[in-house]
Structure 1
């Protein structure tokens, strides 16, 4: 004789089976979407790559505009983009590589572009001004100095990394 308390009815069996199969199929559909969305967060940021810009003996006391290419990862899209730096030696002979992006609203600054502002970086968008070392001049729109690129010199060649804020300058 069989005990009816421990038996599963046909209806319960089908209910359990369909719920299990449906849950498995739902998980199979959702898992790739979650993985696709979370993958860029798990990759993290690459270490700073330094890019060759110029030979060290070409660096002068006058800022020179140098353009170079860097690899950029935007989510899943990898590309090469142009970056620009104003490269020169300061009064102490130290190399300084400044970003041309104005810290006010992101316009592009130019060196010695206005006669009335000689030996200064000038932003034409809102008359932002910086001295030769990229420090913002008082009573002009920029709120902080131009960002400076990390750099290293190896075998007489200048390599630039990422531009960093110099708020304390």
Structure 2
């Protein structure tokens, strides 16, 4: 005994099938977009090896250049940046050169009146050697730190984080 499908049942099945395909066509890309960060390789914690050896680092802050690959959407570029690196006892410290006031670049001992401080030329901002902002000058916060290490005798620079020295 076979059952006959009525016109109404056929239209109902057809509309349900087409509606299901349309819903899947919209929901699958949205689900992939929401879960995409789980499928990406994490670059956090990756360290960039510089050309400066740990033996070259002294108690005087030294400009250490490093290069890394940066990907913006589909465009990959090579970016060169630098850090102010110095030794404090057995510890190696790397500070960001970006002023917390307006994002200008700070330099070590550039101001003759303050030879033992970082100087920001934009608005005469001053920072102590550990990155602490000098009261009464424009910066409102300390310089950021870089994660720093040593690999095969060379300095490695990692992610930037808030200053923990002050």
C-alpha contact 1:63 1:88 (8 A) present in aligned 2: yes
Aligned-partner SS, 1:145 = coil
> What is the CA–CA distance in structure 2 between the aligned matches of 1:94 and 1:29, rounded to whole Å?
54
Q: Find the partner of 1:107 among 85, 94, 104.
A: 104
Q: TM-score, normalised by structure 1?
A: 0.79
Question: Which of 16, 26, 29 in structure 2 is aligned with 1:19?
Answer: 16
Offset of 1:156 from its aligned partner?
Answer: 2.0
Structure with higher Rg: it is 1
Which of 62, 66, 69 is matched with 1:64 structurally?
A: 62
Equivalent positions of 1:25-36 (< 5 A) are: 25-32=22-29, 34-35=31-32
Q: 2 CA distance for matches of 1:73 and 1:58?
A: 32
Per-residue CA shift, 1:11-57, capped at 9, x if unaligned? 3321321331232144235523542x335432374331111121112
Aligned Cα root-mean-square deviation (Å): 2.8
What is the number of residues matched between the two proteins?
164
Q: Is there any run of 5+ residues in structure 1 with no aligned partner, and where?
A: none
The worse-fitting range, judged by mean Cα deviation, of 139-148 and 40-49 is 40-49
TM-score scaled by length of structure 2: 0.80
Q: How far is the alpha carbon of 1:125 from its aligned partner? A: 2.1
Structure 2 residues without counterparts, runs of 5 or longer: none
1:164 and 1:60 mapped to 2: Cα distance?
22
